[in-house]
């Protein structure tokens, strides 16, 4: 019998959002990823390689959207902004993926991110469209709302909204 025993990677990490509830990640805010990439065993050593961070809609299936792929060596501390222009994941419940690809080993290790209810908080953009009106006259406006992906469909917009003009509330009947 011949045994081929090789080093294996061991990734440990913590992923945290910017607020008091670390499971809520926010568009245009920092996500913090701290951890180590080491060999597995009684005497672990630091490993160099690439760390890939991905995200997808919960229960959406499909592939993860890679948000970054960064070189690490042993202990790492990463602060990554979920940029509105590069985070192509719909707001809501999400799944996370963190995978370490060692430079010199033919194996990978991934962080188990299940068990935490991760949530991506998006951005809403309000565009107000109105024709020119005489001063002092009521005006009708159209409000168009889009999310950080540019979508205008399937947006849950329940809630209370107020419109302010020059610091004064002009209408809150919505």
Strands of 20-167, DSSP E: 24-26, 30-39, 48-57, 65-73, 75-81, 92-102, 109-110, 118-121, 124-129, 142-147, 163-165
Report the percent of the chain where pLDDT is more than 70.
98
Q: What is the dihedral of CA 141, 147, 153, 156, to 10 degrees?
A: -90
Residue 54 structure tokens: 């991905």
Q: Is the pLDDT of residue 173 over 70?
A: no
pLDDT over threshold 90, residue 34: yes
In this prediction, residue 117 has a pLDDT band, given cuts at 50, 70 and 90, of very high
Residue that the structure tokens 């995200």 belong to: 55
Q: Which domains does the chain have, with CATH numbers?
A: 9-121 (2.60.40.1930), 124-171 (no CATH)
Separation of alpha carbons 6 and 120, rounded Å: 39
Condensed to tens digits (0 to 9), the pLDDT of residues 75-116 reads: 999 999 999 999 999 999 999 999 999 999 999 999 999 999
Q: Where does the pLDDT of residue 125 fall: very low under 50, low under 70, confident under 90, or very high at 90 and above?
A: confident
Q: What does the DSSP 8-state code read for residue 151?
A: -
Which residues neighbour 174 within 8 Å (Cβ) at sequence distance 6 or greater? Answer: 160, 161, 162, 163
Percent of the chain, pLDDT > 90? Answer: 61
pTM greater than the 0.95 cutoff: no
- Structure-block tokens of residue 125: 């953009």
Range from 49-53, 89-93, 140-144 carrying the lowest mean pLDDT: 140-144
The string over 23-32, giving b where at least 16 C-beta atoms fall within 10 Å of a residue's C-beta and e elsewhere, is: ebbbbeeebe
- In the block, residue with structure tokens 């008091």: 20
């Amino acid at each position: 019998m011949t045994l081929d025993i090789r080093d294996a990677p061991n990734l440990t990490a913590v992923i945290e959002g910017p607020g008091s509830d670390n499971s809520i990640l926010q568009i245009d805010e920092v996500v913090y990823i701290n951890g180590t990439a080491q060999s597995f065993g009684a005497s672990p050593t630091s490993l160099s390689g690439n760390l890939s961070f991905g995200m997808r809609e919960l229960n959406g299936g499909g592939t993860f959207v890679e948000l970054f792929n960064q070189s690490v060596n042993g202990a790492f501390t990463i602060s990554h902004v979920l940029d509105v222009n590069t985070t192509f994941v719909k707001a809501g419940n999400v799944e996370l993926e963190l995978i370490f690809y060692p430079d010199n080993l033919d194996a990978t290790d991934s962080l188990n991110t299940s068990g935490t209810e991760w949530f991506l908080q998006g951005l809403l953009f309000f565009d107000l469209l109105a024709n020119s009106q005489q001063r002092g006259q009521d005006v009708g406006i159209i409000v168009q709302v889009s999310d950080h992906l540019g979508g205008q469909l399937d947006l849950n917009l329940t809630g209370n909204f107020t419109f302010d003009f020059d610091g004064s509330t002009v209408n809150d009947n919505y």
